[in-house]
Amino acid sequence: MDFFLTIRNTSLAVLVSFIFVFNQAESQGLKIEVQAGIFDRSQTITSFSFPKHVNEGVYIIRDGQGGEALLQVDQQNRGWLVIDDLTAGSTITYHFDGTKADELASVNFQIGDDTIVINNGGRDVLSYFHGYNEPPAGLDERYRRGGYIHPVYTPSGTVLTNHLNVHEHPHHSGIWSAWTNTEFQGRTPDFWNIHQNTGRVNHAEKLEESWSGPVFAGFRSKHYFADISVTPAVTALNEEWQVRVFRSPSDIHIFDLKVTQTANTSAPLYLPEYRYGGVGFRGHIDWEDPDNCTFLTSEGLGRDGHGTRVRWTHIGGHSDGKLAGIAIMSHPENFRHPQTVRIHPDEPFFNYAPTQLGDMVIEPGSPYIVKYRYITYDGEPDAEKLNRLWNDFAYPPGVTVLSLRH
């Protein structure tokens, strides 16, 4: 008897259906249909779940017309590929027969004593502190930490982020995660402003795992929100980061950050309404000059976009004399989408701040999950291109997987 399973993701208005036949066949002999949907696709990251187990690895898939693509299968039985070009309303069909690929990873990493550096085609994309940073003179041990991303690079190698700035907000660390205004077990730890000595975010001091491949490289890490206003300290939240850096065209870098926060005790973490908190971004030190730092939101606003609800935000300027920027995109599945943003009136600081819209709470047994995509580039932002890239992130192509009868 044949069984059919269809999964519809109505929240994204994208059909992702998996139709498969239980006929004692092996995973070989699958047909993978990728539907563009309503958008033109170009260099689009696409992923899907297999209906049956497929071993982790890299495979060659063929489109029946002499074309080939590389399919990267992860530990969660998901396949990942990059669709080069697909016009709106059209479909491309691949055949999967289990043929392994011998090609070396084009997205790779190098792990050092304290950092993991990920590159795309030999060009560095980002570095993450899995160990400890080294605070300069003028900053004490409170600022010795890890668990954040810095530097972030453009395709030409221009640095976009900053950390450990002795003179301006040394607690801002590239791309990092923390909450500011909180209530926990009757106390009010501030995990963001570590100089207040009530809270901090510690890292696990080692990576959970890391990957490389022709489609993406990345890692998984863990952090702990420590309430240090009491002795001994109490961990309020456990946090997991998943970072994926994707194969991308020569003019941009693309990477995703997925953050999952869970209550560590039976007590919730209350997050009263506040203007910032969550996943932050601190721009290059040259952008401390407000005349050398510009913002652009998906709604066409600049710094006056503070407090508005947006899909993406660009921040950029001249870094070491080179004009460059980064766009930070929020996924529709994020809480209170489209999330409101904190854009500092003078400094190169930005974050999506859902607490601007009112109180929040992270309850035991109910994780808080957010997903952001980062696009880096040299030169001015291209709003039309950023809109297309956000559509790919928010509403990816639909995929149908069929098991073929033998």
Is residue 2 within 8 Å of residue 384, measured between CB atoms?
no
Domain segments of the chain as ranges: 8-103+395-403, 107-393
| Ordered per-residue pLDDT tens for the chain, 406 residues | 333 333 333 333 333 333 333 333 344 589 999 999 999 999 999 999 999 999 999 999 999 888 999 999 999 999 999 999 999 999 999 999 999 998 778 999 999 999 999 999 999 999 999 999 999 999 999 999 999 999 999 999 999 999 999 999 999 999 999 999 999 999 999 999 999 999 999 999 899 999 999 999 999 999 999 999 999 999 999 999 999 999 999 999 999 999 999 999 999 999 999 999 999 999 999 999 999 999 999 999 999 999 999 999 999 999 999 999 999 999 999 999 999 999 999 999 999 999 999 999 999 999 999 999 999 999 999 999 999 999 999 999 999 999 876 5
What is the reported pLDDT for 329?
A: 98
Q: Render 185-219 in DSSP notation, one character per residue.
A: TTB---SS-GGGSSEEEEE-SS-SEEE-BSSEEEE
Question: DSSP E strands: which ranges in 305-367?
Answer: 312-319, 322-330, 341-343, 349-352, 360-362
Residue written as token pair 């070491």: 320
Would the CA dihedral through 156, 160, 163, 166 be positive or negative? positive
3-state percent helix, strand, coil for the chain, nearest multiple of 5: 10, 45, 45
Copy the structure tokens of residue 90: 């059209």
What topology is assigned to 107-393 in CATH?
Beta-galactosidase; Chain A, domain 5 (2.70.98)
What is the reported pLDDT for 404?
A: 76
Is residue 109 within 8 Å of residue 119, measured between CB atoms?
yes
Helix H or strand E segment including 243: strand 234-246
- CB-based burial of residue 100 (10 Å sphere; 0-12 exposed, 13-18 middle, 19+ buried)? exposed
Q: Hey, which residues does 365 pair with through a beta bridge? A: none
What is the reported pLDDT for 246?
A: 98
Residue 298 DSSP symbol: T
Residue written as token pair 């309020």: 236
- CB-based burial of residue 330 (10 Å sphere; 0-12 exposed, 13-18 middle, 19+ buried)? buried
Copy the structure tokens of residue 244: 């994926």
What is the reported pLDDT for 15?
A: 37
Copy the structure tokens of residue 315: 């921040």
Is residue 319 within 8 Å of residue 287, measured between CB atoms?
yes
Helix (H, G, I), strand (E, B) or coil at 387: helix
What is the reported pLDDT for 405?
A: 63
What is the reported pLDDT for 269?
A: 98
Q: Give the dihedral of Cα atoms 131, 133, 134, 135; nearest 10 deg.
A: -140
